[in-house]
Amino acid sequence: MESSRRLLRYIREMHILGPRPVHPDFASMGQWMNDELATCLSHLNPAPALEEILISHGRSIVWGSDIPILRRVKKLTLWKCEFGSPPDFTDFLSNYFPNLTTLIIKDLRFLDTFGDPEKPGPRPHLHTLEINSSATQEFLLHWFLYQPPEDIRLENLSYTIAQWQVYAAPASLKALGSSVKHLTVNFAFPSPHQLLKGDPFLATFTTLQTLVFDCSTLYGTLYGPPSVPVLLQCVKAKDIASLQFRFALGDGASCDLEDTAQQISRIRLSETSKLLHTLRPFKHLSSVLVHVRLNEWSKCMRIRATEWVERQLEQHRGPLTLPDGTRMSNLEVWALRGFDATRAAEYERQFMQTSYRSYDQARQTWRKASNALEQALPLAHAAGILHIEPVECEKEPHLNRRC
């Protein structure tokens, strides 16, 4: 117990994970987040110097008491959280997280959507604001912009393409446009109805260095690229140095890699490729980066074939090292599963052959996908500024077991 207390002073990051609706303790644990969590955090001794907090699946979050350890937090991530109303949310930020510099919001929900974004009150002095929540982003951006222009120093902004309007004061919009250097535009809509339309916000940003089109949902990848040329023509920044694209077509565990490579080749980027070499803001591009989110491709480019096979074998066979540190042989592990030596050796041989083939297929299909993207962006490829990388799919935080 004493050693655990000593460790508290070194904690810098905390995840508060509420239950998903399918969790067996959904009702009681959801209430626990409101009734008991604030008390638990207030009584941590010694108090940790927290810098980052992630809250997942919080429902109607209301903390009655003050929690001093949260006042030093610089980064807050809210993932699929719910508040009673917009004022409940803004009060939550100002009361518990007054020193935020980074706010990341994914799928935020208000039960009562009425709220005045121009209501006086403190706003966080953010350097990074990421909003992947089209239903609430209009309120969130207007609320953030309703502050003295000289206090707006946002450098990194991410928002979602949606049918919305910008009502902020011209001075605040100008301050935002001259401060944001790195902008991400998310395509997270569930249908293509918002395609091929301009965006009311893009022309605001005059000093961009990096522009990212995040199409890393299935709908975004299938329907987003045709609208990119329309959005590129809305850009008013002078000299953008880096342009990035993010695509995703599955997690690799349940999708056919050959089919996925074929779908990558169907992404329509030809008009985008031409505009990058005719529009003034992109005349001096030094980098065009394409990220493809797929776990199998990302893994096969990071590890060797032998490690790939061993990892897959361990998943089927089980680890050779027990929780108490005891090391077991292959045969001992297989014996625990009812295999004799001969049967275990034959099973392992066949499984390893299958795993090596799956590794080769992952590498080959990634090369096909990469070649297709090079052909889709030929001018950037010829100029030597095109970089194509596979990356892992984003993981949702969740409870792994009943607590």
Amino acid (1-letter code) at residue 250? G
CA separation for the pair 294, 20 (Å, rounded): 24
Residue 167: pLDDT band with limits 50, 70, 90 = confident
pLDDT of residue 399: 47
Q: Is 278 left (phi over 0), alpha (psi -120 to 50) or beta?
A: alpha
pTM comes to 0.86
Give yes or no for residue 153 having a pLDDT over 70. yes
Give yes or no for residue 196 having a pLDDT over 80. no
Average pLDDT over residues 33-46: 71
3-state secondary structure 152-188: CCCCEEEEECCCCCCCCCHHHHHHHHHHCCEEEEECC
- Comparing 332 with 259, which gets the higher pLDDT? 259
Residue 14: which residues within 8 A CB-CB, separation 6 or more? 48, 50, 52, 53, 54
pLDDT of residue 402: 32
Amino acid (1-letter code) at residue 94? S
Give yes or no for residue 102 having a pLDDT over 70. yes
Residue 78: pLDDT band with limits 50, 70, 90 = very high
- Comparing 103 with 71, which gets the higher pLDDT? 103
Residue found by looking up tokens 């050693």 in the block: 3
Residue 1: pLDDT band with limits 50, 70, 90 = very low
Q: Please give the C-alpha separations between residue 10 and each of 77, 186, 221, in angstroms, as whole numbers.
A: 20, 35, 41
CA separation for the pair 182, 242 (Å, rounded): 9
pLDDT of residue 343: 74
Mean pLDDT, all residues of the chain:
83
CA separation for the pair 115, 165 (Å, rounded): 16
Which residues pair with residue 74 across a beta bridge? none
Q: Please give the C-alpha separations between residue 151 and each of 86, 123, 356, in angstroms, as whole numbers.
A: 22, 9, 56
Give yes or no for residue 341 having a pLDDT over 90. no
Average pLDDT over residues 68-94: 90
Amino acid (1-letter code) at residue 277? H
E strands, 217-278, where? 242-248
- Comparing 332 with 199, which gets the higher pLDDT? 199
For residue 299 the two structure tokens come to 């893994």
Residue 54: pLDDT band with limits 50, 70, 90 = very high
**349-376 pLDDT, tens per residue?**
888 898 999 999 999 999 999 999 999 9
Question: Where are the chain's structural domains?
Answer: 1-180, 303-375
CA separation for the pair 220, 312 (Å, rounded): 31
Q: Please give the C-alpha separations between residue 280 and each of 185, 226, 233, 257, in angstroms, as whole numbers.
A: 20, 20, 10, 38
Neighbours of 18 (CB within 10 A): 25
Q: Please give the C-alpha separations between residue 322 and each of 112, 188, 314, 347, in angstroms, as whole numbers.
A: 51, 43, 12, 22
Average pLDDT over residues 109-117: 85
pLDDT of residue 346: 77
Lowest mean pLDDT among 2-6, 126-130, 203-207, 268-272: 2-6
Lowest mean pLDDT among 91-105, 232-246, 323-337: 323-337
pLDDT of residue 35: 66
**380-401 pLDDT, tens per residue?**
999 999 999 999 887 776 544 3
